[in-house]
Amino acid sequence: MANVQVSKAFLAELLYDLPPGRRAAAIESVSHGELLGWSWHFPPYQWQLGAEALSPVRAWEFDAEAVRAMCARDPEFGRAVAAWVGSVVAHRLQAARIRLLDLYAPYGSGHRV
C-alpha cells in the first residue's frame, strides 16, 4: 500500500535504483516540509524511487487511498493537492534537467540569461 510522506524534520536523498553491482544514484535531496514522492497520486501507484535518510527522520505519513478519496469527494481540495504535487514534479524535473546539462552538455549550451 502506498502512503503519502511529507518531511517534518529531516534531510533525505531520493535514490534511483541502478542495475545490480552499481550504487543507487542520488537525484535529489528533500528536507523540512517537502513531499517525498508522488507515485501515490498516479496509477499504478508504485514507487519509482527510493530514499535514504541522512539525518534522524520525523515525517507525516498519510494513507494514500484515503487522501485520493478525499480529493475525489472535495474537488477544491483535490485541485489543491494536484497543484501541490504538480509543482513538486515540475521543480524536480527542472532540477534534473539542470543536473543533466551540468553533466553532459557542451560548455555554454545551457540556459542563457
Backbone phi and psi for residue 62, each to the nearest 5 degrees, phi listed first = -125, 150
The model carries a pTM of 0.70
Among residues 24, 26, 25, 42, which one has the least CA distance to residue 88?
42
Q: How many residues does the chain have?
A: 113
CATH 2.60.120.10 fits 3-104, yes or no: yes
Q: What is the 3-state secondary structure (H, E, C) of 54-104?
A: CCCCCEEEEEHHHHHHHHHHCHHHHHHHHHHHHHHHHHHHHHHHHHHHHHH
Per-residue confidence (pLDDT) for residue 59, from 0 to 100: 77
Q: Where do the domains of the chain lie?
A: 3-104
Is the predicted pLDDT of residue 39 greater than 90, yes or no? Answer: no
Q: pLDDT tens digit string along 73-99?
A: 999 999 999 999 999 889 888 888 887
